[in-house]
Amino acid sequence: MRNGIDRAALIAGGAGFIGSHLCDALIAEGYRVVCVDNFRTGRLNNLRHLEREPRLEIIDADVIGPLPSTLTRRSLRISRVFNLACPASPPHYQADPEHTLLSSVIGTRNLLGLAERMQARFLLASTSEIYGDPQTHPQAESYWGYVNPTGPRACYDEGKRAAETLTFDFARAGRGETRVARIFNTYGPRMRADDGRVVSNVITQALAGDDITVYGTGKQTRSFCYIDDLVDGLTRLMAYNGDYAGAINLGNPAELTVRDLVARVMRLTGSQSRIVRRPLPVDDPQRRRPDITLARRHLGWEPKVPLEQGLERTIAHFAVEAAALAASVTRRLAEAG
């Protein structure tokens, strides 16, 4: 505490998968954390372990609407604003595309305005999706992308591209300090079982002995970053005080095919599930791997957690969640007589 006023960070989307891990990291760094979330894909359960933490405040609000006036109260010196408020999984962001697009565009405008009033530094959680179905490989920050502006992924991709534009214009106009992280596929504990993304789908299917769904040939590639590494990258980028002012890729350059991911999960879980093919979703990117030269150079950052280790931790998380769900169903059935 300085001059009787706490150092505080705001995390929009703080009840989500990445946001809740970021809450943990910032509280451990000594911040008071204000989490603003509309709970569309986020869960209170992700923050349950912080229930008695006096330095965490949770506000149920949508960043598209006017932000609660309590955020600008004088006892709360918000010096950092992290904008993570947007669903990240294709089925979730496509469920209400208008809301997804506006979360990125209006939400970013509202949070930039708040950062300006509070003289806080602002970080946008952007995405590798701004590169679309990339025509260069691996993807460096200098690549402008290959995005279909009218397809079903556009609400997410174009929303994030516009959010980046707003953020860079804000900085160019001298209205505040900004940071932009282009996050590549991230996985780990607290992903939702019904998230719909490949890591959570394959693990939950393998654990339940259900058919494992591979979309398309399964030869498309992704590069998966474990959550602890990503959060380390986000906090380093927010703290970065150097001259580089552009966007920074945060992701794990270890690239593998979807089929390879499935094989690894089946081996780690001992699963006997069948693999079934499903149609490839429209505009599904074929290859994706981050060039992290800039993150290495400016942040001294690179991922440390190998895929096998990250998958083991994630599998353990889903196994515990499935066991808790089974126990609660058994209890309810017993109570019902």
- Binding mask 50-69 vs ligand NAD (x if CB under 6 A, - otherwise)? ------------xxx-----
Is 200 a binding residue for ligand NAD by CB under 6 A? The answer is no
Residue 84 near residue 127, CB atoms below 8 Å: no
| DSSP secondary structure code for residue 68 in this structure | P
Number of residues counted as binding ligand NAD (CB under 6 A): 28
List of residues 6+ apart from 324 with CB closer than 8 A: none
- Considering the complex, state which of residue 125 and residue 147 has its C-beta at the smaller distance from ligand NAD: 125
Answer for which of 19, 176, 188, 310 binds ligand NAD (CB under 6 A) is 19
User: Within 269-308, which residues bind ligand UDP (CB under 6 A)?
Assistant: 280-281, 284
Long-range contacts of 239-247 (CB under 8 A, 24+ apart): 240/179, 240/298, 240/299, 242/298, 244/294, 244/298, 245/171, 246/141, 246/180, 246/294, 247/126, 247/141, 247/164, 247/180, 247/181, 247/182
DSSP string, 256-281: EEHHHHHHHHHHHHT--PPEEEEPPP
Beta-bridge partner residues of 256? 222
> Residue 80: in which H helix or E strand, if any?
strand 76-83
Tokens of 301: 């950052």
- Considering the complex, state which of residue 200 and residue 273 has its C-beta at the smaller distance from ligand NAD: 200
Cα–Cα distance measured from residue 211 to residue 218, given in angstroms and rounded to the nearest whole number: 15
Query: Which one of 76-84, 209-217, 266-274, 306-314 is the stretch in contact with ligand UDP (CB under 6 A)?
Result: 209-217
Partner whose footprint covers residue 127, from ligand NAD, ligand UDP, none (CB < 5 to 8 Å by kind): ligand NAD
Is 205 a binding residue for ligand NAD by CB under 6 A? The answer is no
User: What does residue 95 show for φ and ψ, rounded to 5 degrees?
Assistant: -65, -35
Partner whose footprint covers residue 198, from ligand UDP, ligand NAD, none (CB < 5 to 8 Å by kind): ligand UDP
Is 185 a binding residue for ligand NAD by CB under 6 A? The answer is yes
Q: What is the CA radius of gyration of the chain?
A: 20
Is 18 a binding residue for ligand NAD by CB under 6 A? The answer is yes
Query: Active-site residue among 31, 93, 131, 156?
Result: 156
Is 186 a binding residue for ligand NAD by CB under 6 A? The answer is yes
User: C-beta of 218: minimal distance to ligand UDP in Å?
Assistant: 6
First to last CA, the chain: 54
Is 257 a binding residue for ligand UDP by CB under 6 A? The answer is no
Is 127 a binding residue for ligand NAD by CB under 6 A? The answer is yes
Answer for which of 115, 125, 295, 299 binds ligand NAD (CB under 6 A) is 125
Helix (H, G, I), strand (E, B) or coil at 89: coil
Partner whose footprint covers residue 164, from ligand UDP, ligand NAD, none (CB < 5 to 8 Å by kind): none
156 catalytic residue (yes or no): yes
Instruction: List residues near ligand NAD by CB under 6 A.
Output: 12-13, 15-19, 37-42, 62-64, 84-88, 103, 107, 125, 127, 183, 185-186
Instruction: List residues near ligand UDP by CB under 6 A.
Output: 90, 185, 197-198, 201, 213-215, 220, 222, 258, 280-281, 284
Residues marked as catalytic: 156
